Amino acid sequence: MGEKPLRILVFGRAGEEITQLRAQGIAVAFAPGITAGSAMAVELGASLTHRDHAHSVRFVTAHSRQGELPANLDWRGLADCETMLVFYMGGRKAPAIAARLMHERLDGATPVVIQEAVSRPEARLTRMTLERLAGPDVFAFGGQPTLIGIGRVFADQAIDARRILDDAVAGQPGKQASA
């Protein structure tokens, strides 16, 4: 009793959690924080709106309440080569996200970073292209919260080597997946 739990909510089930807490008479307050998408960019040394590569950034949920890709997303707008994308909870939907973006004419050579457990000691980072993300050899995610960053700002960023735990596709420790 008397404890004040804190959760930083951007996507996930924030709306449902807030509704449930309020229905139980539990006060809900909000405090400013940093979202995992921004934390990922910081760890990569990437500017999500680098003026040479992007004019905007969009944080996007990777699945609907039914577990499918959200049907009401503006996929054509998301496929803008000058918009950096960060998909939240994207692990299971990664190939479908990539296929949908390429269907809307986003270049298959577009750089992609996938990070599980952002800003935690067990974080795992993999780099690849959008085309490879859509392919059958995409790795299985380890059950950690997964972000997928898509866009040119992820092409040549300095990566903190301690975060690269393995090449998830080839299974070679200490390597990262090549773009």
Q: What is the pTM of this model?
A: 0.74
84 — phi, psi (to 5°)? -85, 135
- What pLDDT shows up at residue 11? 54
pLDDT averaged per 10 residues, the chain (length 179): 57 71 82 78 83 87 86 94 91 91 96 88 88 79 82 68 38 41
- What pLDDT shows up at residue 138? 66
- What pLDDT shows up at residue 156? 63
- What pLDDT shows up at residue 175? 39
Q: How many CA atoms lie within 13 A of 11 on its CB side?
A: 19
- What pLDDT shows up at residue 169? 39
- What pLDDT shows up at residue 86? 94
